[in-house]
Amino acid sequence: MSHVYIEKISAHEDQTVTLKGWIYNIRSSGKIHFLQLRDGTAIIQCVMGKNDVSEEIFESAKRLTQESSVEVTGVVRKDTRSALGYELHATGLKILHISEEYPITPKEHGTAFLMDHRHLWIRSRRQHAILRIRAEIIRAIRDYLDDNDFLLVDSPIFTPAACEGTSTLFETAYFSQKAYLTQSGQLYNEANAMAFGKVYCFGPTFRAEKSKTRRHLTEFWMVEPEVAFLELDGLMDLTESFVRYIVTRVLQNRQTELKEIERDTTQLEKITQPFPRLDYGEAVRQLHALGSDIVYGDDFGADDETMLTKQYETPILVNRYPAAIKAFYMKGDPAATDRALCVDMLAPEGYGEIIGGGQRQDDFATLLAAVHAHGLPQESMDWYLDLRRYGSVPHAGFGLGVERTVAWICGLPHVRETIPYPRMLEKLVP
């Protein structure tokens, strides 16, 4: 009897097959058992009538508990009563392990309890759907970049210094020195772009921010493309095309999962329209018209971001923020000296910033002054300054936060469900 996966069951209609998995739920009417079997790919109902199997097997099925591991043999039948479209009419059952009392019951649970049992929670239907969508998003990210001639060049996790604010670094012992977990691959990416032209890095990044919000993790995944000879307008084109591709791929390949989590996909289908581009000054004017008390020159608060994005059905590209509130490596706007050539993509429906990026400072003297102005040690930045000594060119790049993107596409209230094992403030287990 061949072992098949439930996901591929339609190819085996009317055949006898063996399924291997775990009991998701069991119901019985005395002379007929209904086993909900999950094998990691999907869930199928196995029907076991008293007359279809031996007395011994029928009796043994009564011992099954939630999450017990089994092998079920039977005939695949089409059945309209099943959500999957197929059922297995069982002819055999092999019990591998009877599960102890399983903590996650079919009824409701609180978030704290579920997070403490995250290693078991990921067996649930909803978590399956979310993590499959995450995997699709990651595949779409890689496919887009690989197919558009970006070269994957990895950046290190251990770094000697900060590239964002120094207050949010995780410090670790590194033999006789201190090392910090990377907050961004950005600085290395710029060196890689000078070497290869179009590059990206993709991996986990770490920020020791004491943030307790629905949008923050201390460990999160970020994809960061960086391109030589690219300027701000071209960068905005790139972010728009990139995000549109990701959403389209999820809509194409993960309809079942979107339905499972009850995502309203009409919102996602609107991303085919162009993304509005707002200059920072224009964004502030709009916010004032909407009743915000934001001061020109300040960064947007959470309320401002939500208020602004609710005006639009697609993500928006807010560009040219005040240079004073942006990182030291941003290039200034020649048309307005107090502004930086940067862009943030704000997702709709109040999901906030999913992309931050910009054109990098390519002038040696200006960058050196910025390093000093930010109080950064020049010796640890010397290699980065070299990029402006040896064939400096205009270049730009951005970072997209994977978990925020997953949260937006899935319509989730919190990023903690978008990653298998979220790392949050004081949260390290499991």
For residue 187, give Cα distances in angstroms to 161, 313, 356. Answer: 11, 33, 14
Which residue among 96, 290, 325, 369 contacts RNA (CB under 7 A)? Answer: 325
356 is a contact residue toward RNA (CB under 7 A): yes
Q: Which residue number, 299 or 313, has a Cβ lying nearer to RNA?
A: 299
* Cβ at position 389, least distance to RNA in Å: 26
Task: Decide: 213 and 190 in contact? Cβ < 8 Å.
Answer: no
Site residues for RNA, window 1-20 (CB under 7 A)? none
Angstrom distance (rounded) from CA 113 to CA 122: 13
CA angle 44, 46, 49 (to 5 degrees): 165
Which span sits near RNA by CB under 7 A: 25-33, 234-242, 362-370, 375-383?
25-33
User: What secondary structure letter does DSSP report for 101?
Assistant: P
Site string for RNA, 92-111 (x = CB under 7 A): ---------xxx-xxxxxxx
Site string for RNA, 76-95 (x = CB under 7 A): ---x-xxx---x-x------
211 is a contact residue toward RNA (CB under 7 A): yes
Which span sits near RNA by CB under 7 A: 148-156, 243-251, 258-266, 407-415?
407-415
Name which of 287, 285, 293 is nearest 306 in CA terms: 287
Site residues for RNA, window 115-174 (CB under 7 A)? 115, 164-165, 168
For residue 57, give Cα distances in angstroms to 91, 94, 357. Answer: 9, 8, 62
Q: Which residue number, 121 or 245, has a Cβ lying nearer to RNA?
A: 121
Query: Which one-letter amino acid corresponds to residue 261?
Result: I
Cis peptide before 430 (omega within 30 of 0): yes
Site residues for RNA, window 29-48 (CB under 7 A)? 29-32, 34, 36, 45, 47
Which residue among 7, 299, 313, 338 contacts RNA (CB under 7 A)? Answer: 299
Task: Decide: 331 and 358 in contact? Cβ < 8 Å.
Answer: yes
305 CB-near residues (< 8 Å, 6+ apart): 346, 350, 352, 353
Q: Which residue number, 31 or 372, has a Cβ lying nearer to RNA?
A: 31
Angstrom distance (rounded) from CA 333 to CA 335: 5
Which residue among 72, 130, 137, 222 contacts RNA (CB under 7 A)? Answer: 222
217 is a contact residue toward RNA (CB under 7 A): yes
Q: Which residue number, 192 or 239, has a Cβ lying nearer to RNA?
A: 239
Which residue among 207, 244, 254, 339 contacts RNA (CB under 7 A)? Answer: 207
Task: Decide: 410 and 418 in contact? Cβ < 8 Å.
Answer: yes
Q: Which residue number, 332 or 356, has a Cβ lying nearer to RNA?
A: 356
Angstrom distance (rounded) from CA 63 to CA 102: 14
* Cβ at position 256, least distance to RNA in Å: 16
Which residue among 28, 41, 60, 267 contacts RNA (CB under 7 A)? Answer: 28
Which span sits near RNA by CB under 7 A: 136-144, 242-250, 261-269, 395-403?
395-403
Angstrom distance (rounded) from CA 33 to CA 87: 13
* Cβ at position 153, least distance to RNA in Å: 19
Structure tokens given for 323: 């240079």
375 is a contact residue toward RNA (CB under 7 A): no
Half-sphere exposure of 376 (CA within 13 A, CB side): 24
